[in-house]
Structure 1
Amino acid sequence: MERLPQGTRRLAVQLRLPLDPSWIWSVLTDYANLNSFIPNLASSRQLWRRGNRVGLEQVGTQQFCGLRFSAKVELEIEEDLEAGELRFCMCRGDFRRFEGCWQIGRTGETTHLLYELTVQGRPGMPIGLIEQRLREDLANNLRGVQREAERRAAQS
């Protein structure tokens, strides 16, 4: 995690998986069902598609100190299957900034899944709490994608 000015944080997490990249891609682009395997994602709804661009509405929820918090974002995603990238940026939402990229690559028999996120909270958002939750959630979210990709690959 990198601390940037004005409460902005940049995070990156990478997994190495013994799966074909196509399984990871199929999971990440299953927009209507992301909330069924990504922890803390309460809903994910595709709003539109224009070629390789997709509009999504997502709501994330957190339990913290006995209270439930939620944040809503509308994202525009650019799919680049050839490069193995899904780039996203927030059009509207509960953050000042929320953008990043999923990258899928392959070296030999190993697939690399990289998730990068730059996030900046709204004024009054306790960035320390957000930072702690993001740190924990990123790894859990990638593991959720991994489990779903492994499940799909095992069923084929």
Structure 2
Amino acid sequence: MNVLRCSQQAGFSGRTMEGALVPWRQRHAAQRSAATKVQAISDVRIEVEKTSWTSRRIFASILVATPKSIVWSALTDYDNLGSIVPSIVENRCLERTDNSALVYQVGAQDVALGVKFSAAVSLRCTEFPNGGVPPNLLTVPPPGLFNNGNGGNSPGSSGSTSDGNNWEVAAAMETLFPYPLTSVAGVLPSDISFELVEGDFKDFRGVWRLQQIGDSSTLLSYAVYVKPQAWLPVALVQSRIANEVVRNLEALRQYAETQYAREFQQQKQLGAVH
């Protein structure tokens, strides 16, 4: 599942957002692997972590100038994701329950020298609107992330370990959802997890995290663990995948903000707002 800017009017300036993230960056800069590549592309913050020769973890976030409900509606509109997310060339919702969906998607990217890589996947998407993915299903974030007294969805000890046992950490990456490192501690999350059922990757699992920031702003975070098939070296596609993540986040923001503006105008015409 491939797939923010905030106005002063929304009550949450870019400077304030930056200030909220600076302590997190300072606490964990020394603990992150030297293989982690941190970039700020457009309004999207993105990190690419080399987890092995054959796999990567990607973390990204963007601020959307809408309430969380607008972004949630866009991400859970599984039938129409193909019209929102630019890298999806085919999209079908195969089944739907109250809190989950099975989605078939085909994504296409230019790899190099005009070569286009196309991958088809079936993903199980599960919704956690009140509090996020259970801690025992997430990898453990860097130590200290929750030592700020703010509470939040703090992972327990049943996930990966931070005691230096590389084997356990590697095993956790293969079985657990990546913790959204670009999210903010202490703010109640609403999550959508997704994991590979079948398709053209060996492993593909991740989390969309939505956090309400102020009255009408949402921090949208994305975390994914990706392991291509052996015939496609991950080093060849990692930058392309990262670029697609940026494009998709920007497209989601634009869609959500357009929907929010349209709803606002409709309510204004009906006299519901002044």
Confirm or deny a common fold (TM above 0.5). Answer: yes
1:53 paired residue number: 100
SS in 2 for 1:47: strand
Residue from 173, 197, 204 that aligns with 1:98: 204
CA offsets, 1:69-126, max 9 Å, x none?
2100000011112231100100001000000000000122431000111000101102
Whether 1:150 aligns to 2:257 is yes
User: 1:66 Cα deviation (Å)?
Assistant: 1.6
Matched residue type, 1:94:
D
Runs of 4+ in 1 over 6 A off after TM superposition: none
The residue type equivalent to 1:147 in the other structure is Q
Moved more, 10-19 or 103-112: 103-112
> Which residue of 110, 116, 139 corresponds with 1:63?
110
**What is the CA-CA distance between 1:6 and the residue it aligns to?**
4.2
Q: TM-score, normalised by structure 2?
A: 0.55
| SS of the residue 2:50 aligns to | strand
Mapped to 2, the partners of 1:18 and 1:146 lie a distance apart of 8
The whole-number CA distance in structure 2 between the counterparts of 1:153 and 1:33 is 17
Q: CA RMSD in A?
A: 1.2
1:126 paired residue number: 233
Amino acid in the other structure paired with 2:212: R
One-letter amino acid matched to 2:239: Q
C-alpha separation in 2, matches of 1:17 and 1:36: 19
Match of 1:13 among 44, 52, 60: 60
Cα distance in 2 for residues equivalent to 1:3 and 1:76? 25
Instruction: Give the match for residue 223 of structure 2.
Output: 116
Give distance in 2, aligned partners of 1:107 and 1:143: 18
Aligned residues: 156
In the alignment, the residues of structure 1 paired with residue 74 and residue 117 of structure 2 have an alpha-carbon distance, to the nearest angstrom, of: 26
- Point out the more displaced range, 49-58 or 112-121: 49-58
Equivalent positions of 1:29-40 (< 5 A) are: 29-40=76-87
The 1-side partners of 2:241 and 2:49 are apart by 12
Percent of aligned pairs with the same amino acid: 31
Please state if 1:72 is matched with 2:120: yes
- Residue aligned with 1:85, SS: strand
Deviation at 1:155, TM superposition (A): 1.1
5+ residue gaps, structure 1: none
2-structure distance, mates of 1:90, 1:82: 23
- Please report how far the alpha carbon of residue 21 of structure 1 lies from its aligned counterpart in structure 2 after TM superposition: 0.5
